[in-house]
Amino acid sequence: MSTAVMTHRLELDSIAETALKKAAQFWFVLVLLGQFLFAFTVASFYGLTTLRGDSQVWNRVLIQGYVEGHPMGNAALAGHILFATIISIAGALQLIPRLRSAFPVFHRWNGRLYILAAFVMGASGLYLTFGPGRIAPGDASLHTANAISAMLIILFAALALRAALARDFKTHRRWALRLFLVVCGSWFFRIGFFLSFFLHGGPFGFDPTTFSGPLLTFWGFAEYLLPLAVLELYLRAQEQSGALLRVTTATLVFVLTLAMLRESSPSPWPRGFPP
């Protein structure tokens, strides 16, 4: 192989590697800002209404919100919302590389809080879907999607914790990234749901009364399966030296991030969605 050909391939590999890094950074900045905004929105709405002693106002946006005379279910809902806020902030902080390197002690303790919040979120999510006295919105397919999401949160949290305790930080990073994506499922659902409206030109594919339909079923599963699939492609592109795979992955991540950017700004939630 001539020197010119080798130099050309090295240049292509370098360009592909840079493109992959820049696409990942673009996605990271958007998700970081999105999680902080999501946490602020949830905390301000539920926090202020709770302080005013007006928890019943939750039912304006939740099909199955505050239920009079059902303390266990209401406690599970409140815990789920509280830890959803905590996990949005803690997860975003865990992803900042400079924060990890400059403050390793904070990273470890914040990670422990994050894992705890993940366990609580997963368990409370299962209770809110199948617990006694709860009537979760949606049909059986959406309930199944939600149950799988909750179980994946618990599973990935356990695997990330096990790898960290074993000081296998490469494996820990992988499971922590998978956990972060699954935890962000509600946010991804929101983005995908409204992006579908934008592309179609209006609402379609679901019944707002029963909160069921093919669109909701699709995004119920896609909210975690699609991000996890893109992550696996990204991890493979990182490890392999092929310029084509890296450029393809970078392009996919960049396009998906642009779509997320289009639909991640605050907008009114239809009934049945948490704000």
| 136 CB-contact burial (10 Å; exposed 0-12 / middle 13-18 / buried 19+) | middle
Task: Note the helical H segments in the chain.
Answer: 3-51, 71-94, 97-102, 104-130, 140-165, 169-183, 185-200, 214-239, 243-263
What does the pLDDT read at residue 64?
57
Stretch 161-183: mean pLDDT: 93
Of 6-15, 132-141, 244-253, give the range with the top mean pLDDT: 244-253
Stretch 97-112: mean pLDDT: 88
268 pLDDT higher than 50: no
Cα–Cα distance, 27 to 261 (Å, whole number): 9
What does the pLDDT read at residue 213?
87
Share of the chain above pLDDT 70, in %: 75
What does the pLDDT read at residue 133?
57
What does the pLDDT read at residue 233?
92
Cα–Cα distance, 176 to 183 (Å, whole number): 10
| pLDDT tens profile 46-78 | 766 666 666 666 555 555 555 565 666 666 666
* 82 CB-near residues (< 8 Å, 6+ apart): none
What does the pLDDT read at residue 95?
82
What does the pLDDT read at residue 57?
60
Confidence of residue 98 (pLDDT cuts 50, 70, 90): confident
| pLDDT tens profile 111-127 | 998 998 889 888 888 88
Stretch 178-186: mean pLDDT: 90
Confidence of residue 272 (pLDDT cuts 50, 70, 90): very low
